[in-house]
Structure 1
Amino acid sequence: MNVSSIVVQALPKHIDDLVEVFKEADYADYHLHDKEKGKIIVTVEGKGVEEEIEKLIKIQRLAYVIAADMMMTYQEDELDAEVKKLEAENPVPDVLQDEEIDVRDVEYHGDLRHKKLGF
């Protein structure tokens, strides 16, 4: 399950109307708004990114919406896969685990996996 927050921008005079739309919507959950700034915060859920993007586009196409942008996202399935991938890899390069190498002899060039030793 993926969950993303969306900031919706509209003219202050249209905020109340849009808040009512989001309170009734089955594709987004209304959380809060700032009428003076013309912003509304909603979240959308989906089985994947594609479903969330479809809901974002639906919000962007609503009357009175000037802009709607995803701000933060949580992707449960993708996160689990990435955590498993990291756990399977050795996150510490071998050169950092070799007790016979003096760290002062290592020349750093931005990537310790492709290190150059200075001896």
Structure 2
Amino acid sequence: MNISSIVVQTLPENVEKVIAIIKENSDICEYHLHDPKGKIIVTVEGKDVEEDIEKLVDIQCFDHVIAADMMMTYQEDQLDEEFKKLEAQSLVPEILTRENVDPRTVVYNGDLKKRF
């Protein structure tokens, strides 16, 4: 299951209208709080990220909504599975999995112009 937070932006004079629309669509999202300047915080729940994004798009289409953007997402069931995939594919450099690494021994391969 996914849980995502979304910030909805509207004009200050439309805050109460948008909150009412959000509450009427409780199958899409859950209202939590707002400020008088027009920011409204909601959460959505879905079986995966795709369902969360579908709900985000629905919210973006509500009347008086200027913008709605996903701020954070939590993937409860998928997190352990993703760690297993990373470990199996050896995509994580070995040095990042060792404990007590002396940072002076790490070779820097970034931008040489900014190298000290």
The CA RMSD measured in Å over matched residues stands at: 2.7
Higher strand share: 1
TM superposition score normalised by structure 2: 0.74
**Distance between the aligned counterparts of 1:6 and 1:107, measured in 2?**
39
8 Å Cα contact 2:2/2:73 also seen in 1: yes
Structure 1 residue runs of 4+, over 6 Å off?
none
Indicate the residue corresponding to 1:24 in structure 2.
24
Pick 1 or 2: higher relative contact order, CA cutoff 8 A, min separation 6.
2
TM superposition score normalised by structure 1: 0.72
8 Å Cα contact 2:8/2:39 also seen in 1: yes
How many residues align structurally?
102
What is the deviation of 1:109? 2.9
Q: Which structure 1 segments of 5+ residues have no match? A: 98-102, 112-119
Indicate the residue corresponding to 2:58 in structure 1.
58
Q: Which structure 2 segments of 5+ residues have no match? A: 111-116
In terms of mean alpha carbon deviation, does 18-27 or 58-67 score higher? 18-27
The structure having more radius of gyration, on CA atoms, is 1
**Distance between the aligned counterparts of 2:59 and 2:78, measured in 1?**
24
**Distance between the aligned counterparts of 2:106 and 2:40, measured in 1?**
51
The alignment-based identity, stated in percent, is 60
Q: Name the amino acid aligned to 1:50.
A: E
